[in-house]
Amino acid sequence: MPQNSGATGVTAEEIRTRVRELAAAHDPATTDHVEFLGHRFDAGLAWVHFPVGCGGLGAPRALQQVAEQELAAAGAKPANVYRNPIGLGMGAPTVAVHGTEEQRSRLLRPLWTGEEVWCQLFSEPGAGSDLAGLATRAVRDGDDWIVNGQKVWTSFAHKARWAMLLARTDPDLPKHQGLTYFFLDMSLPGVEVRPLRQATGQAEFNEVFLTDVRIPDSMRADEVGKGWTVSNTTLMNERVAIGGGASPREGGVISPVAALWRSRPEVRTPALHDQVMKAWVEAEVARLANARIGQQLAAGKPGPEGSAAKISFARINQETTRLWLELSGEDGLTYDDWTMRRVDLGGSDGGRSAGYYYLRAKGNSIEGGTTEILRGVIADRVLELPREPRTDTKLPWKEIPR
């Protein structure tokens, strides 16, 4: 994370003072929420560990909690993560680390306030789990790059103004080396978004077609050919965002399961008792592990622990929603929410039926990196096990069979 040398040594008391000054100048009770978030960004209180001028103070990341507590005490509402989850969880840290001064100045403030929504253009029909094998091409043309290709499983593309785009700029290099990362304006000519309907009836995802899209070189992140390095910043933050969020005890899908168990004594059998207890314990272990990951994040950037959290989240969600369905009895077999809906921004899926969550949880082991791929990450980077033999990492990408 780039730091501003003049902002080092920021203390907790300085953070509290800044919050008090912000609240005095812009009363959270009477100031429009988006406007207040903008003032908060300008005061360096969006992400205190970001550089000065980028919504931060160059302070230790651990001081973010101080800012949040003081802002809550002043009556300020937090940023709505449901409004721009990909931007806040993945876009902001990527822009902050790999963006130019001009890019950070242009992109971060409206990202933070939710005025400009972000999406992620990584996966492709022929390169899902093998992200480095992607085929979307970006060809240099003067001060622009002309991009052609197709992306898939893109959440919020139908709402997004900006996208994190990974494209191939040199097919003569091995697949990991010939990639470049761009910040794509989704309103540019040649960008087409189509909905993808899921088993739930929702159209939460999209496929995106890029036809002769001209991206200015000024919107390239980092150096040409450094796309894989930049994408890893995005992916590490994505896995933490999906699986590493903090929650209260009995938060998430274990909450309705526990409530059903307590309210329906007629379904209590010894076998189900063991399953409910196992699910509750695993949810609590995951919650405490995520709290530890939060502590590690306060000391630096996310590491492979986020992959473990994401695997755990997917497995627990799938097992617990199955249990929820079983405890619901006949009610769990009914599902009439098949009308295709586009996902809106600003809210969560709270209040849906057990059937919805059961179906939706099937995607948890695919999105944000498949469980199989993440197990490989853990084996390699955490356990330091021997890598599986591969023959495609040193060949030029254009020579790899597809």
CATH number of the domain enclosing 49: 1.10.540.10
With 80 as the cut, is the pLDDT of residue 238 above it? no
Taking only the tens place, the pLDDT of each residue in 148-199 is 999 999 999 999 999 999 999 999 999 999 999 999 999 999 999 999 988 8
Q: Do 260 and 328 contact (CB within 8 A), yes or no?
A: yes
Residue 44 main-chain phi, psi, to 5 deg: 80, 20
| Active-site residue flag, 238 | yes
Query: Of 224, 241, 265, at which residue does a domain stop?
Result: 224
Between helix 254-263 and helix 270-299 the angle, nearest 10°, is 150
With 60 as the cut, is the pLDDT of residue 246 above it? no
Query: Of 113, 130, 154, at which residue does a domain stop?
Result: 113
Q: What is the DSSP letter of 28?
A: T
Section 354-360 average pLDDT: 88
- For residue 316, what are the CA distances in angstroms to 198, 203, 264, 320, 358? 21, 24, 22, 6, 12
Distance CA 198, CA 271 (A): 33
Q: Are residues 212 and 352 in the same domain?
A: no
Q: Are residues 237 and 357 in the same domain?
A: yes
Q: Are residues 220 and 236 in the same domain?
A: no
Q: Are residues 265 and 366 in the same domain?
A: yes
Q: Do the domain assignments include residue 303?
A: yes
Q: How confident is the model at residue 292 (pLDDT cuts 50, 70, 90)?
A: confident
Q: Do the domain assignments include residue 85?
A: yes
Q: Do the domain assignments include residue 397?
A: no
Q: Are residues 236 and 220 in the same domain?
A: no
* pLDDT given at position 339: 65
Residue range(s) defining the domain that contains residue 60: 5-113
pLDDT: which is higher, 318 or 382: 318
Q: Do 239 and 369 contact (CB within 8 A), yes or no?
A: yes
Q: Are residues 51 and 155 in the same domain?
A: no
Q: Are residues 251 and 345 in the same domain?
A: yes
Residue 182 host element (H or E): strand 179-185
Query: Of 60, 81, 113, at which residue does a domain stop?
Result: 113
With 70 as the cut, is the pLDDT of residue 240 above it? no
Distance CA 88, CA 81 (A): 7
Secondary structure class of 212 (helix, strand, coil)? strand
Q: Is the pTM of this model over 0.75?
A: yes
Instruction: Please name every residue paired with 192 in a beta bridge, in sequence order, or none if there are none.
Output: 209
Secondary structure class of 113 (helix, strand, coil)? helix
Q: How confident is the model at residue 298 (pLDDT cuts 50, 70, 90)?
A: low
Instruction: Say which residue the tokens 């695997």 belong to.
Output: 311
pLDDT: which is higher, 306 or 173: 173
CATH number of the domain enclosing 155: 2.40.110.10
CATH number of the domain enclosing 265: 1.20.140.10
List 116, 204, 238, 305, catalytic entry: 238
Q: Do 88 and 81 contact (CB within 8 A), yes or no?
A: yes
Q: Are residues 180 and 249 in the same domain?
A: no
Q: Do the domain assignments include residue 388?
A: no
Q: Are residues 253 and 335 in the same domain?
A: yes
Distance CA 306, CA 238 (A): 8
Q: Are residues 102 and 134 in the same domain?
A: no
Least confident of 14-28, 97-111, 122-136, 330-344: 330-344
pLDDT: which is higher, 244 or 292: 292
With 60 as the cut, is the pLDDT of residue 4 above it? no
Q: Do the domain assignments include residue 30?
A: yes
Q: Do the domain assignments include residue 318?
A: yes
